[in-house]
Amino acid sequence: MKKLILAMLLLSSFPDTMAGAEELTEPEIISEAAVLTDSESGAILYEKNADKKMFPASLTKIATAIYAIENGDLNEMATVSEEAVEVDGTRVYLEKGEEVPLKKLVQGMLINSGNDAAWAIAEHLDGSMDRYSVNLNSYLKEKVHLENTHFVNPHGLHDENHYTTAEDLAKLTNYALKNETFKKIFGTKELKWSGKSWETTIFTHHRMLKGEVPFEGVTGGKTGFVDEAKQTLATSAENESIKLTAIVLKADFKRDIYKDTKSLLNFGFNHFESSDLSSTEVFPADGKNYTTGGKDVAITLPKGTFNENVTPKGKLLIEDQNGKVIQTVQLSEDKKDEVVSSQLKPEEEPKKETTGYYGKIGLTLFLFAVFILLLIKNLKEKARRRRRV
């Protein structure tokens, strides 16, 4: 009875982890589309119109940056054309004929959102905008695995055929953040700039990264705006438990994209944490064993109670306390036991034990009886010695 009371007291001391806990309250988002993901696992933690076709504005430059970093030589000198100098929108004021290292163009484009730098990058890599568009879209589909994105320029100035989704932008940003060069530039707050026409310091336009909109843990970001796309924002942030990527698209005012981003990041930090599936872990399901295929896999777990279920087809479903699927991981069937079994010859088959459960009990009783007999014999011997005395 005392043990039962103690167990009840222990259970009552953990109300937040019980199955009956209240459902997580998702943030109210003003922007037309938004998505929050774990930067490492890619798990989608919140979404609003995540697969809706949207115009990204200057968030396009995330794609241009990682494409240039992975496909170009950052130490090469690019020659700035007249077309690059005359491009509309934000600039770093390049001069016609100026020779600039490719890395510096990527910095000017990501940090200060220079459209002229973006144009110069595209021309340097592929020679023309048409060839650049073809090559970039192939790269985004084949390397980054984006399915709902089509870009026709490197900077994001409006074109009806230039579109993406919030989900694709999050996937793109997560992919790019795995590259240390991109990650460093994406998180740069200011940079001294020495060009042919001016010397200055360029600053990020991202107010949370710069500190104008206070929020602890922001590690990188990119802003965007054109009339058709309205305000857009990409943000990376982290704490001791998880790294997050937030994308918000099409807000009327800057204050709204920052408010939405703060709400998304707070939601992620408060309710989720990162973990790993070990390469040695085995998941039984439907008479089969599944593994991660010999590699560690990043996953996202809800804080508190959660469930891990494996489907008959080997998909691991990570669910929160209310049954909502947080992440799906495709496992691999473990064929090791089957291979070993099939390689055994008939005479090599393991011998079956002849000592069953009841046989083991009999042996135990026999040994116990021998012990008692020896004990009795010893006691009798001691009694005889006393009588002799």
Per-residue pLDDT, 281: 85
User: Distance between alpha carbon 49 and the CA centroid of its chain, in Å?
Assistant: 20
- Give every residue of the chain whose pLDDT is below 50, as ranges: 1-22, 338-358, 383-389
Per-residue pLDDT, 337: 53
**H/E element, 301:** strand 297-302
**H/E element, 89:** none
Per-residue pLDDT, 69: 98
**Cα–Cα distance for residue pair 319/327, rounded to 1 Å:** 7
Catalytic residues: 58, 61, 113
**Cα–Cα distance for residue pair 145/166, rounded to 1 Å:** 14
Per-residue pLDDT, 388: 35
pLDDT in tens, 49-107: 999 999 999 999 999 999 999 999 999 999 999 999 999 999 999 999 999 999 999 99
Per-residue pLDDT, 112: 96
Per-residue pLDDT, 380: 59
Radius of gyration in angstroms for the set of CA atoms belonging to the chain, rounded to a whole number = 32
Burial of 291 (0-12, 13-18, 19+ CB in 10 A): buried
Could you tell me which residues come within 8 angstroms of residue 143 by beta carbon, excluding any fewer than 6 positions away? Answer: 70, 175
Per-residue pLDDT, 33: 98
Angle (nearest 5°) at CA 126 between 185 and 145: 65
User: Domains in the chain and their CATH numbers?
Assistant: 33-272 (3.40.710.10), 278-336 (no CATH)
